[in-house]
Amino acid sequence: MVYYGDEIIRFDWAMKRLLRQKANFAVLDSFLSELLGEKVSIQRILESEGNKESADDKFNRVDVLAENSKGDLIIIEIQNNAEIYYFQRMLYGTSKAITEYIYEGDEYSQIRKVYSISIVYFDIGQGNDYIYHGKSVFKGVHTHDTLRLSVKQREKFTKEDAGDLFPEYYILRVNEFNQHAVTPLDEWIAFLKSGKINEDTKVEGLRLARKQLRVSCLSKEERRAYERHIENRRIQWDVLNTARDEGLDEGRAKGLEEGREKGRAEGRAEGRAEGRAEGRAEGKAEGKAEGIAETLQAVARNMKSQGLPIEMIVNTTGLSKEDVDKL
């Protein structure tokens, strides 16, 4: 028998199962309050396409739609796999939440404020921070001032600026967190990354999590499900990392050889020093581009050989379904 002691349940599995229960909302409230910088009280978990259990839990993302005490909608998504169109999916998710919760005949005043929170375990975009916040801001083209709501609008909507009515996005790039936790929010990010909570934490939500999200507290059936989830995650990472590494090695080798050959050929043809330099540079650039293409094809080829879903291969590599089918 495996002894778990004080081991804490992974946050993605807790979101899928335990944190949907009203008794555990306080843990979720604490996390959201620290992230959004205001008191958040979850009232209920709403039904949406992403909330439904999937038989293919092995590759399923975690997607929760919640409603707070203000009636705002909060999307929380935990994504483990790289996806090149992830930003577009964030936009689709907020748009879908807005349209799902306004009904024909309702006034526009019934449109809900939506917060989209993405907890990702892959490199998304380029940046130096581990938390990014995006929101709409209406700036004057000539005056550069921010468009505010009218007095009547501010009274009705309890917002200040026009942009406050629009969806807001938070992206937590968990793998980029490599520092000592100095704030309560940092402690949450550290937990999301390591799965561990300091015994002396002063953050109430994390103290609750240490108490309520222990593996040892799970029923026998829940523990088996959790162990299957963890094993599936290990297998998935092994398959993806192996495919990626093999594809990168193959792509680098081909790109380097082609770049050298093109650089030498163009350099000889020019016959001048500057021509040789330009030829090498262009050859290397072309070779690098072709090498990247070869790398993506090699990654896709390896993922396909491992029997991974076509949709995952397309999302990971950016290749079209037709290109993947040809491999």
Main-chain phi, psi angles of 68, to 5 degrees? -95, -175
Per-10-residue mean pLDDT, the chain, length 327:
64 84 92 96 79 45 87 93 90 94 90 96 92 97 97 94 97 93 94 91 93 87 84 70 66 68 65 56 56 74 78 77 84
What is the torsional sign of CA 254, 255, 258, 264? negative
What pLDDT does residue 115 have? Answer: 97
Handedness of CA 275, 281, 282, 283 (dihedral sign): positive
The alpha carbon dihedral of 266, 267, 268, 272 has a sign of positive
SS (H, E, C) 62-92: EEEEEEECCCCEEEEEEECCCCCCHHHHHHH
CA 145 remoteness from chain centre: 33
Q: Is the distance from CB of 169 to CB of 116 less than 8 angstroms?
A: yes
- Would the CA dihedral through 174, 180, 183, 187 be positive or negative? positive
Look at residue 241 in the predicted model and tell me its pLDDT: 65
Q: For the residues of 141-191, what is the DSSP string, one character each?
A: TTT-PBPBPPHHHHHHH--SBGGGGS-EEEEEEGGG--S---SHHHHHHHH
CB 71 within 8 A of CB 112: yes
pLDDT (0 to 100) of residue 113? 96
Q: Could you give the 3-state DSSP secondary structure of residue 22?
A: helix
Q: How many helices (H) and strands (E) does the chain have?
A: 10, 6
Domain boundaries, the chain: 11-218, 223-299
Please say whether the beta carbons of 172 and 131 come within 8 A: yes
Distance CA 263, CA 255 (A): 12
pLDDT at 274: 59
